[in-house]
Amino acid sequence: MIFEDLKLSHALLKAVKDQKYTTPTSIQEKAIPLILQGNDVLGTAQTGTGKTAAFALPILHHLEKEKSNNNGKTKIRALVVTPTRELAIQIAENFTDYAKYNNIKNTVIFGGVKQMKQVKRLQAGVDVLVATPGRLLDLIGQGYISLKDVGYFVLDEADRMLDMGFIHDIKKLLEKLPKERQSLFFSATMPNSILNLSNTILRNPKKVAVHQVSTTAETIQQCIYYTNKSDKKDLLFHILKDKNITQILVFSRTKHGADRIVRNLKKKNIESAAIHGDKSQPQRQKALQSFKNSEVRVLVATDIAARGIDIDKLSYVLNYDIPNEPETYVHRIGRCGRAGEEGISISICEPEENVYAKDIEKLIKQKITEVKGHPFPQTEKPMNAKEKKASEKEKNRKKQEFFANRKKKKNSNNRRW
Protein backbone atom coordinates (compact mmCIF):
# COMPACT_ATOMS: atom_id res chain seq x y z
CA MET A 1 0.00 0.00 0.00
CA ILE A 2 1.06 3.60 -0.70
CA PHE A 3 -0.35 6.81 0.79
CA GLU A 4 -2.34 7.56 -2.39
CA ASP A 5 -4.37 4.39 -1.68
CA LEU A 6 -5.67 5.93 1.57
CA LYS A 7 -7.77 8.50 -0.37
CA LEU A 8 -6.42 11.50 1.52
CA SER A 9 -6.80 14.99 0.08
CA HIS A 10 -4.34 16.28 -2.50
CA ALA A 11 -2.99 18.88 -0.05
CA LEU A 12 -2.27 16.19 2.56
CA LEU A 13 -0.63 13.84 0.07
CA LYS A 14 1.61 16.71 -1.04
CA ALA A 15 2.59 17.42 2.61
CA VAL A 16 3.20 13.70 3.25
CA LYS A 17 5.51 13.62 0.23
CA ASP A 18 7.45 16.59 1.64
CA GLN A 19 7.94 14.58 4.84
CA LYS A 20 9.44 11.82 2.65
CA TYR A 21 6.81 9.33 3.78
CA THR A 22 6.51 6.64 1.12
CA THR A 23 4.38 3.80 2.47
CA PRO A 24 2.10 3.97 5.53
CA THR A 25 3.23 2.27 8.74
CA SER A 26 1.09 -0.57 10.06
CA ILE A 27 -0.88 1.65 12.47
CA GLN A 28 -1.46 4.22 9.70
CA GLU A 29 -2.63 1.58 7.23
CA LYS A 30 -5.09 0.16 9.78
CA ALA A 31 -6.34 3.33 11.50
CA ILE A 32 -6.59 5.96 8.74
CA PRO A 33 -9.36 4.27 6.70
CA LEU A 34 -11.40 3.62 9.87
CA ILE A 35 -11.10 7.25 11.00
CA LEU A 36 -11.94 8.53 7.50
CA GLN A 37 -15.13 6.43 7.69
CA GLY A 38 -16.10 8.23 10.91
CA ASN A 39 -15.50 5.37 13.37
CA ASP A 40 -14.36 5.75 16.96
CA VAL A 41 -11.02 3.95 17.27
CA LEU A 42 -9.32 2.17 20.17
CA GLY A 43 -5.64 1.90 19.26
CA THR A 44 -2.85 -0.04 20.94
CA ALA A 45 0.44 1.28 19.65
CA GLN A 46 3.79 1.98 21.22
CA THR A 47 5.88 5.03 20.39
CA GLY A 48 7.77 5.04 17.12
CA THR A 49 5.00 3.41 15.07
CA GLY A 50 3.81 6.55 13.26
CA LYS A 51 0.79 6.93 15.53
CA THR A 52 0.51 10.74 15.32
CA ALA A 53 0.08 10.71 11.55
CA ALA A 54 -2.45 7.87 11.96
CA PHE A 55 -4.89 10.26 13.68
CA ALA A 56 -3.67 13.67 12.44
CA LEU A 57 -3.99 13.00 8.71
CA PRO A 58 -7.60 11.78 8.69
CA ILE A 59 -8.67 14.55 11.10
CA LEU A 60 -7.09 17.15 8.82
CA HIS A 61 -8.85 15.51 5.84
CA HIS A 62 -12.22 15.89 7.58
CA LEU A 63 -11.49 19.48 8.60
CA GLU A 64 -10.47 20.42 5.06
CA LYS A 65 -13.84 19.29 3.72
CA GLU A 66 -15.68 21.13 6.53
CA LYS A 67 -13.77 24.36 5.89
CA SER A 68 -14.73 24.36 2.24
CA ASN A 69 -18.40 23.90 3.20
CA ASN A 70 -18.67 26.55 5.94
CA ASN A 71 -16.85 29.51 4.36
CA GLY A 72 -13.70 28.80 6.34
CA LYS A 73 -14.97 29.90 9.76
CA THR A 74 -12.32 29.11 12.39
CA LYS A 75 -13.36 27.39 15.61
CA ILE A 76 -11.93 24.56 17.69
CA ARG A 77 -13.12 21.46 15.85
CA ALA A 78 -10.43 18.99 16.94
CA LEU A 79 -8.94 18.51 20.40
CA VAL A 80 -5.88 16.34 21.13
CA VAL A 81 -5.07 15.76 24.80
CA THR A 82 -1.74 14.28 25.82
CA PRO A 83 0.09 13.91 29.16
CA THR A 84 3.37 15.79 28.67
CA ARG A 85 4.43 19.16 27.34
CA GLU A 86 7.09 17.62 25.10
CA LEU A 87 4.61 15.30 23.43
CA ALA A 88 2.05 18.10 23.03
CA ILE A 89 4.63 20.31 21.30
CA GLN A 90 5.69 17.46 19.04
CA ILE A 91 2.12 16.63 18.01
CA ALA A 92 1.42 20.29 17.24
CA GLU A 93 4.57 20.43 15.08
CA ASN A 94 3.33 17.36 13.19
CA PHE A 95 -0.07 19.00 12.57
CA THR A 96 1.73 22.08 11.24
CA ASP A 97 3.81 19.94 8.86
CA TYR A 98 0.81 17.99 7.59
CA ALA A 99 -1.37 21.11 7.16
CA LYS A 100 1.31 22.87 5.13
CA TYR A 101 -0.87 23.15 2.00
CA ASN A 102 -4.29 23.79 3.51
CA ASN A 103 -5.65 26.50 5.79
CA ILE A 104 -6.11 24.39 8.93
CA LYS A 105 -4.64 26.21 11.92
CA ASN A 106 -3.44 24.61 15.14
CA THR A 107 -1.89 25.67 18.42
CA VAL A 108 -0.56 23.99 21.53
CA ILE A 109 -1.15 24.88 25.19
CA PHE A 110 0.62 23.50 28.27
CA GLY A 111 1.52 24.53 31.80
CA GLY A 112 4.85 25.67 33.20
CA VAL A 113 4.93 28.89 31.14
CA LYS A 114 2.97 32.17 31.20
CA GLN A 115 -0.40 31.80 29.53
CA MET A 116 -0.83 35.06 27.60
CA LYS A 117 1.03 34.02 24.43
CA GLN A 118 -1.10 30.90 24.32
CA VAL A 119 -4.29 32.90 24.94
CA LYS A 120 -3.45 35.32 22.07
CA ARG A 121 -3.00 32.41 19.66
CA LEU A 122 -6.35 30.99 20.77
CA GLN A 123 -8.05 34.35 20.30
CA ALA A 124 -6.66 34.53 16.77
CA GLY A 125 -8.65 31.37 16.00
CA VAL A 126 -7.58 27.73 15.68
CA ASP A 127 -9.12 24.60 14.17
CA VAL A 128 -6.99 22.08 16.09
CA LEU A 129 -6.02 22.43 19.73
CA VAL A 130 -3.30 20.23 21.26
CA ALA A 131 -3.20 20.43 25.05
CA THR A 132 -2.09 18.98 28.34
CA PRO A 133 -4.99 18.48 30.77
CA GLY A 134 -4.10 20.99 33.50
CA ARG A 135 -3.62 24.08 31.34
CA LEU A 136 -6.63 23.11 29.20
CA LEU A 137 -9.01 22.98 32.16
CA ASP A 138 -7.48 26.17 33.56
CA LEU A 139 -8.12 28.16 30.36
CA ILE A 140 -11.61 26.66 30.02
CA GLY A 141 -12.30 27.85 33.60
CA GLN A 142 -11.10 31.35 32.69
CA GLY A 143 -13.41 31.46 29.68
CA TYR A 144 -10.70 31.50 27.01
CA ILE A 145 -11.64 28.12 25.54
CA SER A 146 -14.99 26.64 24.52
CA LEU A 147 -15.22 23.00 23.48
CA LYS A 148 -18.81 23.21 22.21
CA ASP A 149 -17.75 22.85 18.55
CA VAL A 150 -15.31 19.95 19.02
CA GLY A 151 -16.17 17.17 16.59
CA TYR A 152 -12.93 15.17 16.89
CA PHE A 153 -11.37 14.21 20.22
CA VAL A 154 -8.06 12.34 20.64
CA LEU A 155 -6.75 11.01 23.94
CA ASP A 156 -3.13 10.02 23.33
CA GLU A 157 -0.79 8.04 25.62
CA ALA A 158 -3.74 7.13 27.83
CA ASP A 159 -1.78 4.75 30.06
CA ARG A 160 0.81 7.44 30.71
CA MET A 161 -2.05 9.83 31.48
CA LEU A 162 -3.33 7.54 34.23
CA ASP A 163 0.19 6.92 35.57
CA MET A 164 0.62 10.68 36.00
CA GLY A 165 -2.64 11.03 37.92
CA PHE A 166 -4.72 12.80 35.26
CA ILE A 167 -7.78 10.56 35.55
CA HIS A 168 -9.88 13.20 37.39
CA ASP A 169 -8.90 15.88 34.87
CA ILE A 170 -9.94 13.61 32.01
CA LYS A 171 -13.30 12.93 33.63
CA LYS A 172 -13.88 16.70 34.07
CA LEU A 173 -12.93 17.24 30.45
CA LEU A 174 -15.33 14.60 29.15
CA GLU A 175 -18.22 16.47 30.80
CA LYS A 176 -17.35 19.56 28.73
CA LEU A 177 -17.18 17.81 25.35
CA PRO A 178 -20.17 17.50 23.00
CA LYS A 179 -21.83 14.09 23.08
CA GLU A 180 -21.83 13.96 19.28
CA ARG A 181 -18.19 13.61 18.31
CA GLN A 182 -15.67 11.16 16.86
CA SER A 183 -13.29 9.93 19.54
CA LEU A 184 -9.89 8.30 19.12
CA PHE A 185 -8.13 6.63 22.05
CA PHE A 186 -4.49 5.51 21.91
CA SER A 187 -2.44 3.71 24.53
CA ALA A 188 0.75 1.66 24.54
CA THR A 189 -0.77 -0.83 26.98
CA MET A 190 -4.35 -1.94 27.65
CA PRO A 191 -4.80 -2.91 31.32
CA ASN A 192 -8.35 -3.00 32.74
CA SER A 193 -8.11 0.59 34.01
CA ILE A 194 -7.45 1.80 30.45
CA LEU A 195 -10.22 -0.34 28.96
CA ASN A 196 -12.67 0.99 31.55
CA LEU A 197 -11.71 4.56 30.68
CA SER A 198 -12.04 3.85 26.95
CA ASN A 199 -15.59 2.59 27.54
CA THR A 200 -16.57 6.04 28.89
CA ILE A 201 -15.10 7.81 25.85
CA LEU A 202 -15.77 5.60 22.82
CA ARG A 203 -18.91 4.39 21.07
CA ASN A 204 -18.72 1.02 19.29
CA PRO A 205 -15.01 1.50 18.61
CA LYS A 206 -13.01 -0.29 15.96
CA LYS A 207 -9.88 -1.80 17.49
CA VAL A 208 -6.42 -1.56 15.96
CA ALA A 209 -3.26 -2.94 17.54
CA VAL A 210 0.38 -2.68 16.50
CA HIS A 211 3.17 -4.19 18.60
CA GLN A 212 2.65 -5.10 22.20
CA VAL A 213 4.69 -3.17 24.75
CA SER A 214 6.89 -6.26 25.11
CA THR A 215 8.23 -5.87 21.58
CA THR A 216 10.93 -3.59 20.28
CA ALA A 217 11.09 -2.32 16.73
CA GLU A 218 12.81 -4.79 14.42
CA THR A 219 14.90 -1.95 13.00
CA ILE A 220 16.70 -1.36 16.34
CA GLN A 221 20.02 -3.12 16.99
CA GLN A 222 20.47 -3.63 20.74
CA CYS A 223 23.77 -4.06 22.55
CA ILE A 224 24.92 -3.96 26.17
CA TYR A 225 28.21 -3.19 27.91
CA TYR A 226 28.71 -4.87 31.30
CA THR A 227 30.92 -2.67 33.47
CA ASN A 228 31.48 -1.41 37.02
CA LYS A 229 29.65 1.48 38.63
CA SER A 230 32.91 3.39 39.03
CA ASP A 231 33.75 2.97 35.33
CA LYS A 232 30.44 4.09 33.81
CA LYS A 233 31.60 7.64 33.18
CA ASP A 234 34.80 6.56 31.40
CA LEU A 235 32.94 3.92 29.40
CA LEU A 236 30.54 6.60 28.15
CA PHE A 237 33.51 8.71 27.01
CA HIS A 238 34.94 5.60 25.29
CA ILE A 239 31.65 4.97 23.42
CA LEU A 240 31.41 8.61 22.33
CA LYS A 241 34.84 8.38 20.65
CA ASP A 242 32.92 6.75 17.80
CA LYS A 243 32.59 9.56 15.24
CA ASN A 244 29.57 7.84 13.68
CA ILE A 245 27.60 8.84 16.79
CA THR A 246 26.84 12.39 15.71
CA GLN A 247 23.77 12.56 17.97
CA ILE A 248 22.67 10.41 20.89
CA LEU A 249 19.86 10.48 23.46
CA VAL A 250 21.14 9.31 26.87
CA PHE A 251 18.78 8.17 29.62
CA SER A 252 19.54 8.67 33.31
CA ARG A 253 17.48 7.30 36.19
CA THR A 254 17.54 10.55 38.17
CA LYS A 255 17.50 14.30 37.57
CA HIS A 256 20.72 14.77 39.55
CA GLY A 257 22.31 11.97 37.57
CA ALA A 258 21.35 13.65 34.30
CA ASP A 259 22.93 16.94 35.39
CA ARG A 260 26.07 15.11 36.56
CA ILE A 261 26.44 13.36 33.18
CA VAL A 262 26.17 16.74 31.40
CA ARG A 263 28.82 18.27 33.69
CA ASN A 264 31.18 15.37 33.00
CA LEU A 265 30.63 15.57 29.25
CA LYS A 266 31.24 19.32 29.15
CA LYS A 267 34.57 18.77 30.93
CA LYS A 268 35.51 16.67 27.91
CA ASN A 269 34.27 19.42 25.55
CA ILE A 270 31.33 17.32 24.41
CA GLU A 271 28.33 19.56 23.70
CA SER A 272 25.42 18.30 25.81
CA ALA A 273 22.24 19.37 27.57
CA ALA A 274 19.85 17.87 30.12
CA ILE A 275 16.07 17.70 30.01
CA HIS A 276 14.09 16.71 33.10
CA GLY A 277 11.34 17.79 35.49
CA ASP A 278 13.43 20.33 37.42
CA LYS A 279 14.17 22.32 34.27
CA SER A 280 11.79 25.15 33.38
CA GLN A 281 9.71 24.75 30.24
CA PRO A 282 11.81 27.31 28.27
CA GLN A 283 14.99 25.47 29.34
CA ARG A 284 13.57 22.14 28.21
CA GLN A 285 12.40 23.55 24.89
CA LYS A 286 15.78 25.21 24.29
CA ALA A 287 17.66 21.97 25.05
CA LEU A 288 15.39 19.94 22.78
CA GLN A 289 15.59 22.47 19.94
CA SER A 290 19.39 22.67 20.22
CA PHE A 291 19.51 18.88 19.92
CA LYS A 292 17.16 18.85 16.93
CA ASN A 293 19.29 21.56 15.27
CA SER A 294 22.45 19.46 15.87
CA GLU A 295 23.95 22.21 18.06
CA VAL A 296 24.15 19.67 20.89
CA ARG A 297 25.59 16.19 20.36
CA VAL A 298 24.24 14.56 23.53
CA LEU A 299 20.80 15.09 25.08
CA VAL A 300 20.54 13.57 28.56
CA ALA A 301 17.01 12.83 29.74
CA THR A 302 15.09 11.23 32.55
CA ASP A 303 12.06 9.10 31.78
CA ILE A 304 9.90 12.20 31.37
CA ALA A 305 11.24 11.98 27.81
CA ALA A 306 10.82 8.25 27.32
CA ARG A 307 7.60 9.07 25.52
CA GLY A 308 6.88 12.29 23.74
CA ILE A 309 10.24 13.26 22.29
CA ASP A 310 10.20 12.62 18.56
CA ILE A 311 13.48 13.41 16.82
CA ASP A 312 13.60 12.70 13.10
CA LYS A 313 16.14 10.07 12.09
CA LEU A 314 17.61 9.71 15.59
CA SER A 315 19.94 6.72 15.28
CA TYR A 316 21.33 6.26 18.81
CA VAL A 317 19.85 5.85 22.28
CA LEU A 318 21.95 4.99 25.33
CA ASN A 319 20.77 3.72 28.71
CA TYR A 320 23.31 5.10 31.17
CA ASP A 321 21.19 3.49 33.90
CA ILE A 322 19.26 0.29 33.19
CA PRO A 323 15.60 0.87 34.15
CA ASN A 324 14.17 -1.38 36.85
CA GLU A 325 10.93 -1.73 34.87
CA PRO A 326 11.56 -3.57 31.59
CA GLU A 327 8.65 -1.79 29.85
CA THR A 328 10.50 1.49 30.39
CA TYR A 329 13.42 0.08 28.40
CA VAL A 330 11.10 -0.60 25.45
CA HIS A 331 9.74 2.96 25.55
CA ARG A 332 13.22 4.45 25.87
CA ILE A 333 14.79 2.69 22.92
CA GLY A 334 11.66 3.44 20.89
CA ARG A 335 13.06 6.98 20.52
CA CYS A 336 15.28 5.62 17.72
CA GLY A 337 14.44 3.32 14.84
CA ARG A 338 11.16 5.16 14.36
CA ALA A 339 8.80 4.72 11.42
CA GLY A 340 11.02 2.13 9.73
CA GLU A 341 14.33 3.94 10.23
CA GLU A 342 17.30 2.00 11.61
CA GLY A 343 18.47 2.64 15.16
CA ILE A 344 21.06 1.44 17.65
CA SER A 345 20.36 1.04 21.36
CA ILE A 346 23.33 0.92 23.75
CA SER A 347 23.04 0.01 27.43
CA ILE A 348 25.66 0.39 30.17
CA CYS A 349 25.09 -2.14 32.93
CA GLU A 350 26.67 -2.09 36.39
CA PRO A 351 26.56 -5.21 38.64
CA GLU A 352 23.48 -4.11 40.59
CA GLU A 353 21.60 -3.76 37.29
CA ASN A 354 22.39 -7.25 35.94
CA VAL A 355 19.05 -8.52 37.21
CA TYR A 356 17.24 -5.66 35.41
CA ALA A 357 18.95 -6.61 32.13
CA LYS A 358 17.74 -10.21 32.53
CA ASP A 359 14.18 -8.98 33.16
CA ILE A 360 14.33 -6.93 29.95
CA GLU A 361 15.50 -9.93 27.93
CA LYS A 362 12.61 -11.98 29.32
CA LEU A 363 10.11 -9.29 28.34
CA ILE A 364 11.39 -8.73 24.80
CA LYS A 365 12.06 -12.47 24.35
CA GLN A 366 15.52 -11.98 22.93
CA LYS A 367 19.12 -11.81 24.06
CA ILE A 368 20.72 -8.36 23.96
CA THR A 369 24.11 -8.56 22.23
CA GLU A 370 26.94 -8.19 24.75
CA VAL A 371 29.88 -6.01 23.70
CA LYS A 372 33.06 -7.77 24.82
CA GLY A 373 36.68 -6.72 24.77
CA HIS A 374 36.06 -3.11 25.86
CA PRO A 375 38.47 -1.37 28.30
CA PHE A 376 36.12 -1.42 31.33
CA PRO A 377 34.81 -4.98 31.84
CA GLN A 378 32.60 -5.82 34.82
CA THR A 379 34.65 -7.15 37.74
CA GLU A 380 32.59 -6.13 40.75
CA LYS A 381 30.12 -8.59 42.23
CA PRO A 382 26.53 -7.53 42.93
CA MET A 383 25.81 -6.99 46.61
CA ASN A 384 23.52 -9.45 48.34
CA ALA A 385 20.55 -8.26 50.43
CA LYS A 386 22.62 -8.09 53.64
CA GLU A 387 25.39 -6.07 51.98
CA LYS A 388 22.85 -3.70 50.41
CA LYS A 389 21.27 -3.07 53.80
CA ALA A 390 24.68 -2.39 55.36
CA SER A 391 25.59 -0.06 52.49
CA GLU A 392 22.34 1.92 52.86
CA LYS A 393 22.90 2.12 56.61
CA GLU A 394 26.39 3.50 56.07
CA LYS A 395 25.10 6.04 53.52
CA ASN A 396 22.46 7.26 55.99
CA ARG A 397 25.06 7.48 58.78
CA LYS A 398 27.33 9.61 56.58
CA LYS A 399 24.40 11.79 55.54
CA GLN A 400 23.38 12.41 59.16
CA GLU A 401 27.00 13.09 60.07
CA PHE A 402 27.30 15.61 57.23
CA PHE A 403 24.20 17.57 58.30
CA ALA A 404 25.20 17.42 61.97
CA ASN A 405 28.64 18.86 61.16
CA ARG A 406 27.08 21.56 58.98
CA LYS A 407 24.67 22.53 61.77
CA LYS A 408 27.54 22.55 64.28
CA LYS A 409 29.61 24.77 62.01
CA LYS A 410 26.67 27.16 61.49
CA ASN A 411 26.08 27.46 65.25
CA SER A 412 29.77 28.09 65.76
CA ASN A 413 29.73 30.92 63.20
CA ASN A 414 26.67 32.45 64.85
CA ARG A 415 28.39 32.45 68.26
CA ARG A 416 31.46 34.06 66.73
CA TRP A 417 29.34 37.00 65.56
d(CA 415, CA 417): 5
Q: What is the DSSP letter of 160?
A: H
In 3D, which of 345, 295, 296 has the Cα closest to residue 323? Answer: 345
Sheet architecture: strand order including 369-370: 272-275, 298-301, 248-251, 316-319, 343-349, 220-226, 369-370
Mean pLDDT value across residues 386-403: 64
The reply to whether 397 falls in a domain is no
Specify whether 8 is located in the same domain as 134. Answer: yes
Mean pLDDT of 225-245: 95
pLDDT at 413 exceeding the cut of 80: no
Q: Give the tens place of pLDDT for each residue, 39-58.
A: 999 998 866 678 899 999 99
* CATH number of 48's domain: 3.40.50.300
Q: Is the pLDDT of residue 114 over 80?
A: yes
Residue 158's domain comprises: 3-210
The pLDDT confidence band at residue 270, using thresholds 50, 70 and 90, is: very high
What is the band of 330 on the pLDDT scale with cuts at 50, 70, 90? confident
In a domain, 275, yes or no: yes
Last residue of a domain, one of 370, 385, 403: 370
Give the pLDDT score at 373.
94
- In total, how many domains does the chain have? 2
Can you tell me the distance from the alpha carbon of 231 to that of 218, in angstroms, rounded to the nearest whole number?
A: 31
What pLDDT shows up at residue 284?
83
Predicted TM-score (pTM) above 0.85: no
- Helices and strands: H and E segment counts in the chain: 15, 14
What is the per-residue DSSP string for 43-72?
EEE-TTS-HHHHHHHHHHHHHHHHHHHTTT
Residue 208 sits at φ, ψ, to 5 deg, of: -130, 140
- Domain end, chosen from 169, 186, 210, is at 210
Residue 226: strand pairing partners: 349
Same domain, 269 and 195: no
* Shared-domain flag, residues 300 and 199: no
